[in-house]
Chains A and B, each alone.
Chain A
């Protein structure tokens, strides 16, 4: 208790409904994001380090189409799925045939270039001032959901409609991907992770499967990007810092490689911890607090990788696969 008082934490936020709604909205967002990371790294064994870049491509496509050319919100979201998947193919085609580190470098480089372009192509993306004004359709829908919730006797609350939608989408997608990886298609992905040469010897075009796995992950990142875009009503390059990819890896390793239940648990766990740190009363500027949070995410990732690579639900040998040659 004295320790807590010293740090300036009061635990009142734990009884605050808005805190939990916010945790739910963010956890579902980064949860969908991490589903893609899990599909790549946990199921297929390919090192996608550019998930934040695919998220940016998808959500900026949506935002730009709606704001700059007046496209329908729903069609723009569909287009964003397409551009994210196309970006995945652009990055995957030259690098997925090569050794794993080439792919890791290419995806990371991709993610940094996307953020750089979003920051500098002001005419298209709004630069660091951000892009906004795509939320009208959502606001209408949000009001209607508030109405439906009212019939159930639930009072309207800020972000509650988004939480309802996000949670539904997240759980549905988690279940969908979990079923997908148990299908014959998913078993090939697993075979690639275990021993790609063996899978190829069985006549599987492993390159095509890896490309499909990456494209689906990119589309999932785009969906996470929409959730983020709706939540904060402005697209800005800082939301897509490549460090966001580290969120995905923390969630995946926390929950255990290859476990989709783990993604659900891991995402709520990570976001709860991160949001709770907002209630630390530190005598620091906002920019410094933001930097500190990224430092913590990086440290948590490193500590997990060193001390508990199997996470909460995974098996230790999962991460030991592909040991150095």
Chain B
């Protein structure tokens, strides 16, 4: 079951499909580039270059909140081996906290900060009251997954119960737009996208070059080894939850502000694409999640050129299945990490 040993084996006879699949496995980034370039060429010729450029811009806008959502989900998986099915509800929660703060007549920027901080706080409290005690009981894998699943529904429908099922306005201006090089983008959309890209860059730099980021990545490699090297794992776990929650809250807000409204199903509609982004990047790989988010965002928006836009979420699912078939460890993951 080791995907990395191909080079050592005698070259088996195989058809062109198998040979292509093997090539994709060995050179994932180059293959992705080739596929993306060919699809872009085809779309540009058949649908028009301007449309393609507009769809790409929309894809980067969407890729932002997918990437921000995915990086938190993948960090928690890396550090705790926990698939947090309730992560989508962090996005919903962040957006609702913004709406709540805005209702108190706070300026939008302050309300957004409230949303981010409140979601980080929620993630921290869940670690303290639920996940840490549960880990101490040394529960099984099924128990952990079922707890995350149950928590997702409890959070989703608690939000629906408290806030009501109807749409709520965020108070952001969604009518003003700007045109850059002939491409349209909403003013709010442009602002949140720039903020999102800046935060993504900051997260990537922090993971690579701060002590905290290195400790986090160490934990995600092996929690036992990290403990023996003197890393305060309890502290790192808490910090990871705060970052995961905060980024998820921000992702929810970045999605909700240009949309103009929020409803309790917000995270539910996004989580599928976020899971796809995580798998594309390789589960547990933070840089992979950032790249995966962009890949999913652009793929979905490109798809709207040829299929019904309401079906673009299905493209995320198709990419998920395709990646699992061809390269389950994702763009950057290692083969050993996917076996049972």
Contact = CB atoms under 8 A, between A and B. Distances in A.
B259 to A, nearest CB: 16
B149 A49 contact: yes
B138 A323 contact: yes
A291 interface: yes
A291 B340 CA distance: 36
B70 interface: no
Interface stretch (B11-19, B291-299, B320-328): B320-328
Nearest to B143: A305
A320 B140 contact: yes
B317 A109 contact: yes
B145 A104 contact: yes
B20 interface: no
Contact of A322 (B142, B156, B321): B142
A295 interface: yes
A287 B263 CA distance: 13
Nearest to B338: A98
Contact of B146 (A99, A109, A294, A305): A305
Contacts of A232: none
Interface residues of A, number: 53
For the residues of A in contact with B, the DSSP-based class is helix
Interface in A162-206: 196
A297 B153 contact: yes
A218 interface: no
Interface string A73-117: 000000000000000001101110111111011101110110011
Given A105-B275, A246-B150, A302-B147, A94 B321 contact: yes
A288 interface: yes
B107 interface: no
- Max count, chain A CB within 10 A of own CB: residue among B157, B165, B337: B157
Contacts of B68: none
A120 interface: yes
Contacts of A196: 340
B313 A299 contact: no
10 contacts: A101-B77, A101-B141, A113-B313, A243-B157, A245-B149, A287-B160, A305-B146, A319-B140, A320-B139, A324-B140
Interface of B: 77, 81, 83, 85, 134, 137-147, 149-154, 156-158, 160-161, 164-165, 264, 268-269, 271-272, 275-276, 279, 283, 310-311, 313-314, 317, 320-321, 324-325, 328, 337-340
Given A288-B161, A292-B161, 17 more contacts: A47-B145, A95-B321, A98-B339, A101-B77, A105-B279, A106-B324, A112-B272, A113-B313, A249-B146, A287-B165, A292-B157, A295-B154, A298-B152, A301-B150, A323-B138, A323-B141, A324-B141
